[in-house]
Amino acid sequence: MLKHFISNKLPAGHPLTYLFLAFITMAGLSYINFMPGLVNALAGNIGLNEAEAGQIVALNGYGGLIGSTIAIFLVRRIQWQPAMFLFLVLLAAIDLSTVWVSKLSASTSGVSNYTLMLGWRFLAGTFGGLSLGIGFAVLARLNNPDRAFGTLLFIQFSIGSIVMYFLPELEAQLNAYAVFYVMAAFVVLSLAFLPFLPALSLKHSTSNQPISGRTASVPSTSHNALLLMLAIITYQIAASAIWAYVGLIGLGANISNDDVSVYIATTGLLGLLGAMLPVINGNRYGRLYWIIAGVAMSVTSAIILSASQLTPLFYVIAMSLLFFSWPAIQSYLLAAAAEQDPSGKLSTIAAVVSSIGLASGPLIASGLLSEKSFSLMLYVCAAIFVLSFILLRKPVQTQEKEHSMRQPAQSPS
């Protein structure tokens, strides 16, 4: 049955190809986009404490890491569409059955709700990571990597804002597990998009693959690649640590739960503008200055949130700064990885290290909490943002210089 994809597939360069593939890639670990809602649900009516909620989310992310790592070795040996179909079907089944597993564990002798949820969400993360890793490799094969990863981040922040806005109402209408129903719905929608995508081959290098038309503009040096991967992981650690607990930070500042959801949803819309920077700008004016500005915004956000007397106004300002800068920085760094290795393998590795960062952020944050105080965690996040910039400066500068050297040769005579 999987062989009978409809014949009317989209061209590789069609805008809907970027949109559908980005959505499918997002769906693998969709919870990342509305992580505060998931943490709030786990630490609320589902009955876990704040540290346990963060650890479950972290283990979900480490499952994503395992899956993305496996994908590195699979992408050039498989037909990606049937494999993606299988992984998404399994992920949807696990997301839907999470409600049953949680309720079963609560009533099973000798097995705690927390312990069984750890294992079940790790399994979900594994299949989500497999689909995410494959999706990253295919995105890297599209004509314009800046646009591809910018579209991915645009969708992620769109979904995050929409879900955070409607999640309180969904929980009121359904139950505390509404967030898992939402995750399963995104996977099912991805399955509907999958047959429309072109049959891009991942088994050969881009030089033998005329679809992309790109060539490596920057020599793939292991040193710059390593620095770039470390920059991605460190930035993701700091950003996801704040993202996981930003809802509880608001509640700790005596902001109501409904207001916190609305503030996160509305400020998250600024992430759409940040994600649009690479989509509109591409790499025409370089990436480094955008990244410098984005890191400065991220550091400022962490410092503002650490204030002892956090007001709603400063809460909104801090989230606005982070949500605008995060997607822009990540899409530029992912595009830099895709440009450094057009075969797509480095992009899949980038998906793995990104998963490490996204999973480690909530775990590290949970260990830095003291009596519901978030100040230490936020100061550490600010320092990690600075470290990320130190790591990324050289590889991005190298690409900037290479582009400037190639520019006269590309100008029409």
The full DSSP string for 193-245 is: HGGGS-----SS-GGG-TTT-----S---HHHHHHHHHHHHHHHHHHHHHHHH
Per-residue pLDDT tens, the chain, 413 aa: give them. Answer: 444 444 567 777 788 888 999 999 999 888 888 888 888 888 877 777 777 888 888 889 889 888 988 887 887 777 888 999 999 999 999 999 888 887 765 555 445 677 888 889 999 999 999 998 888 888 877 777 777 877 887 888 788 888 888 888 888 888 888 999 999 999 999 999 998 888 776 655 443 344 334 444 444 467 888 888 999 999 999 998 998 888 888 888 888 888 888 888 888 777 777 767 666 665 555 677 788 888 999 999 999 998 878 899 999 999 999 988 888 888 788 777 777 776 666 777 887 788 788 778 888 888 887 766 788 999 999 999 999 999 988 887 777 776 666 555 444 43
Give the integer Cα–Cα distance in Å for 41 and 112: 17
List C-alpha distances in Å: 57 to 52, 270, 283: 9, 24, 34
45 Cβ neighbours under 8 A, 6+ residues apart: 171, 175, 176
How big is the CA angle at 45 (ends 121 and 266), to the nearest 5 degrees? 85
Decide: helix, strand or coil at residue 246: helix
Domain total in the chain? 1
Give helix 270-281 / helix 257-268 axis angle, nearest 10°.
Answer: 10
pTM (2 d.p.): 0.69
Note whether 317 and 304 are within 8 A (CB). yes
Does 273 reside within a domain? Answer: yes
Q: Residue 34 is which amino acid?
A: F
Decide: helix, strand or coil at residue 254: coil
Note whether 64 and 355 are within 8 A (CB). yes
Give the integer Cα–Cα distance in Å for 149 and 7: 26
For residue 367, the number of C-alpha atoms closer than 13 Å in the C-beta half-sphere is: 7
Does 212 reside within a domain? Answer: no
Does 259 reside within a domain? Answer: yes
Note whether 8 and 199 are within 8 A (CB). no
Give the integer Cα–Cα distance in Å for 369 and 388: 22
Give the pLDDT of residue 405: 64
Give the pLDDT of residue 244: 84
Torsion region of 75: left, alpha or beta (phi above 0 gives left; psi -120 to 50 gives alpha):
alpha
Does 207 reside within a domain? Answer: no
Does 7 reside within a domain? Answer: no
Give the pLDDT of residue 6: 44
The CATH number given to whatever domain includes residue 388 is 1.20.1250.20
Give the pLDDT of residue 189: 95
Give the pLDDT of residue 224: 82
| Phi, psi dihedral angles at 373 (to 5 degrees) | -95, 130
Give the DSSP H/E element, type plus range, for residue 103.
helix 80-106
Decide: helix, strand or coil at residue 141: coil
Does 153 reside within a domain? Answer: yes
Which range of residues forms the domain containing residue 48? 15-197+219-403
Note whether 156 and 26 are within 8 A (CB). yes
Give the pLDDT of residue 4: 42
Does 249 reside within a domain? Answer: yes
Give the pLDDT of residue 216: 42
Does 87 reside within a domain? Answer: yes
